Amino acid sequence: MRFRPGRFDREKTGMLRRFCPAHAVASLPEISLDDLKAEDKSLILLDVDHTLVKWKQEEFSPEVLAWIAKAKEMGFHLCILSNTRHPERLQRLATQLGIEAFRGRFKPSTHMYEMALEKYGRRPQEAVMIGDQIMTDVLGANRSGIDAIWVQKMEGPEFIGTKFNRMMELLVTSLLYRSLVTPVDAIDANPGNLPFFERAIVKQILKFGFVGGISFVIDFTIRYLLVRKISFGGEKLSNTAGRWLLDHFPTIFKFATRPDAAFMPIAVFIAASVAMFNSFLLNRSFTFKVKSDEGKGQQLAKVYIVGYIGMGLNILISSGLYNIIPGHPDRSIAVSAVCAAVIVAAWNFVGQRYFAFQVHKEG
C-alpha cells in the first residue's frame, strides 16, 4: 500500500478515533524531534519490527542510529515496547541503542504502555508511541491516552499474524485517510503519496464505469425494444423501417444482410442519445463533481460532441459486428453492443474528463 503522510484530525474520525494516529510519516528518521519537544513530549516509546529495524534483523540503518542518538542528546527518554517471542534478540537490539526494552502483554493491551509511564514517572500526554501497525501500536497507545505516530512499514517480509492485522489496517486506514489534514497542494505535487483507491483518477474511472453501466442498460434496453420488440400492424418496426431504408438507400445500407440490420444504426442513434444525456447528468455531479453551474450548457454540448463521435465509433463497431456475428439475432445484438461499449467508454472518459468537464485543471 502507498502511504500518505500528514497530521490527522481526530475529531473527524468518529467511531474510528481509537485507531487514528496523531500523525503519519514515511519513516522514523523523518519525525521531527524539535516538534516533539515543542509539544512537551519527553518519553518516546518505540516499536521494533519494521519501525526500528526489519523483521528478524539486527542491523539498524545509520539514519535510525543518528535519530536515536540525537533524541538522547536532546534529553528524551526512550524505550522499546515489544511483544517479541525472542527476548535475546530484543535485548541485543536495546543494548545496541543503549535504551531500555519492555516485554509485556500483547499490544493493543495497555500493559506495557503503563509499565513505561510508571517507570519514567510520566503522564500519558508527555509520551509518544512510534510504530508501524494500527491494530497494535496505535490502538494500544490511544487506549493508554498516548499520542501515536504511525510510520510506514519497512520493506520486507513479516510475521504471518501481522499480515492479518495488515488487512484490518487497510480497511481502517482507507476510511481514516479522509480525516488527514494535508494541504491540497502537497497532494497535487505528489499524487503518488495517495493510496491507490484514494487517487482522484482511479475513483473517477470507477465511478465513470458505474455510470457507464447505467447508460449501457438504458442504451441497450431502448435499442432492444426498437429492433426486436416494437411492432406495427403485426410486423416488427425494425423490419418495416429496414426494408424502407434498403429500398430508398440501397448503396448506404448494402452492408445489411437483413432488413432489421439496416435499421440498426437508427436504433443505435436514438438509444445512445438518451443514454448520453444520462451520462452528462451523472458524470457531471457524481463522477467529476462539477460544483458551479457556470458553463453547464457548453459542457452539455461538449458531452454530446464527444458522445456523437463515440457513437460514430459505436455504429461502426456494433453494426459491423451485428452483421458478421453468426447465430441467433438476440445473441448477435448483445455481443456487438458489449464490444462497442467497452471501446467507446474509454473514448468517452477521456473526452469528458479532458474536454467537456476539464477536471484535470482543478485541485
Footprint of Mg ion on residues 204-233 (CB under 5 A)?
none
> Any contact of residue 166 with Mg ion (CB under 5 A)?
no
Cβ 50 to Mg ion shortest distance, Å: 5
CA dihedral 199, 201, 204, 210 (to 10 degrees): -90
For Mg ion, which is the closer residue by CB, 50 or 54?
Answer: 50
Stretch that binds Mg ion, among 45-53, 68-76, 91-99, 321-329 (CB under 5 A): 45-53
For Mg ion, which is the closer residue by CB, 166 or 353?
Answer: 166
For Mg ion, which is the closer residue by CB, 129 or 290?
Answer: 129
> Rounded distance, CA 73 to CA 68, Å?
9
Give residue number: closest CB to Mg ion.
49
When binding is defined by CB under 5 A, the residue of 20, 36, 49, 218 that contacts Mg ion is 49
> Rounded distance, CA 280 to CA 303, Å?
6
Q: Of 219, 214, 170, whose CA–CA distance to 196 is shortest?
A: 170
Helix, strand or coil, per DSSP, at residue 180? strand
Number of residues located near Mg ion, criterion CB under 5 A? 4
For Mg ion, which is the closer residue by CB, 47 or 147?
Answer: 47
Cβ atoms of residues 109 and 137 within 8 Å: no
Cβ 359 to Mg ion shortest distance, Å: 39
Cβ 298 to Mg ion shortest distance, Å: 54
Mark 237-276 with x for binding to Mg ion (rule: CB under 5 A) and - for no binding: ----------------------------------------
Cβ 33 to Mg ion shortest distance, Å: 21
Cβ 96 to Mg ion shortest distance, Å: 17
Footprint of Mg ion on residues 96-135 (CB under 5 A)?
132
Footprint of Mg ion on residues 274-313 (CB under 5 A)?
none
Beta strands in 127-185 (DSSP E): 127-131, 147-151, 180-181
For Mg ion, which is the closer residue by CB, 13 or 165?
Answer: 165
Helix extents (H) in 196-328:
200-224, 237-248, 259-282, 296-324
Cβ 91 to Mg ion shortest distance, Å: 18
For Mg ion, which is the closer residue by CB, 56 or 92?
Answer: 56
56: left (phi over 0), alpha (psi -120 to 50) or beta: left
> Any contact of residue 50 with Mg ion (CB under 5 A)?
yes
Cα separations (Å) of 38 from 31, 35, 42, 107, 187?
A: 13, 5, 10, 28, 26
Identify the residue whose cell numbers are 511483544: 83
Cβ atoms of residues 287 and 208 within 8 Å: yes
Q: Which amino acid is at 216?
A: F
Residues 6+ apart with CB under 8 A from 92: 58
For Mg ion, which is the closer residue by CB, 49 or 198?
Answer: 49
Q: Of 213, 219, 250, 238, whose CA–CA distance to 342 is shortest?
A: 213
**R_g (Cα) of the chain, nearest Å:** 31
Cβ 196 to Mg ion shortest distance, Å: 23
For Mg ion, which is the closer residue by CB, 158 or 219?
Answer: 158
Identify the residue whose cell numbers are 527518554: 77
When binding is defined by CB under 5 A, the residue of 19, 44, 47, 97 that contacts Mg ion is 47
Residues 6+ apart with CB under 8 A from 285: none
Residues 6+ apart with CB under 8 A from 69: none
Cβ 137 to Mg ion shortest distance, Å: 6
Output the nine-digit C-alpha cell for 237: 418496426
Cβ 20 to Mg ion shortest distance, Å: 18
Stretch that binds Mg ion, among 43-51, 58-66, 180-188, 284-292 (CB under 5 A): 43-51
For Mg ion, which is the closer residue by CB, 132 or 260?
Answer: 132
Stretch that binds Mg ion, among 42-50, 80-88, 112-120, 344-352 (CB under 5 A): 42-50
**Which residues of this protein are in contact with Mg ion, per CB under 5 A?**
47, 49-50, 132
